[in-house]
Amino acid sequence: MLDPIRPLADIFHYHIHIYFDAASQAKACALREAIGARFKVQLGRVFDKPVGPHPLPQYEIGVLQEEFGALLGWLMLNHQGLSILAHPNTDLERHDHSSSAFWLGQPVQLDFQRTAPSLRAIGQDAPRPVLLDSQPHLPA
């Protein structure tokens, strides 16, 4: 027996989080630029300290359904040994970051105390929107 089927329309958009430490920061930031030069995405700001469920320095790439598959394929070839989390953004924020997510490279232990089991339950209709701001000019 299957668990209840969730429709693809539950997904507003996706995030890809790229983690780094002092030794890999320059590489991670260069990868952020390389992604923005090839894909129409939202290039999130670089956090050099923990934020939300993310215990390590990281940045977020916001990506819409139509670009997600291509970016993931490209990252499979070009993750540079970094820890990368890909997750959908639905109403179920905690699931999005755990059982619905997957990793490239070494997984990082997230802090789920700072994620909501349901956004609607805390009065939010939807996750933060993805506002595309990159300037792709290179072939992927």
Footprint of Zn ion (CB under 5 A): 15
Closest approach, Cβ 5 to Zn ion, in A, equals 24
Residue of closest CB approach to Zn ion: 15
Q: Are 132 and 64 in contact (CB under 8 A)?
A: yes
- Side chain identity, residue 25: Q
With respect to Zn ion, which residue has the nearer C-beta, 38 or 42?
42
Closest approach, Cβ 81 to Zn ion, in A, equals 21
Q: Could you say which DSSP state residue 104 is in?
A: E
Closest approach, Cβ 88 to Zn ion, in A, equals 9
50-88 in b/e burial notation, b at 16+ Cβ within 10 A? eeebbebbbbbbbbbeebbeebbeebeeeebebbbbbbb
For residue 125, give the 3-state DSSP assignment: coil
With respect to Zn ion, which residue has the nearer C-beta, 3 or 92?
92
Closest approach, Cβ 62 to Zn ion, in A, equals 8
With respect to Zn ion, which residue has the nearer C-beta, 3 or 117?
117
With respect to Zn ion, which residue has the nearer C-beta, 90 or 139?
90
- Side chain identity, residue 123: G
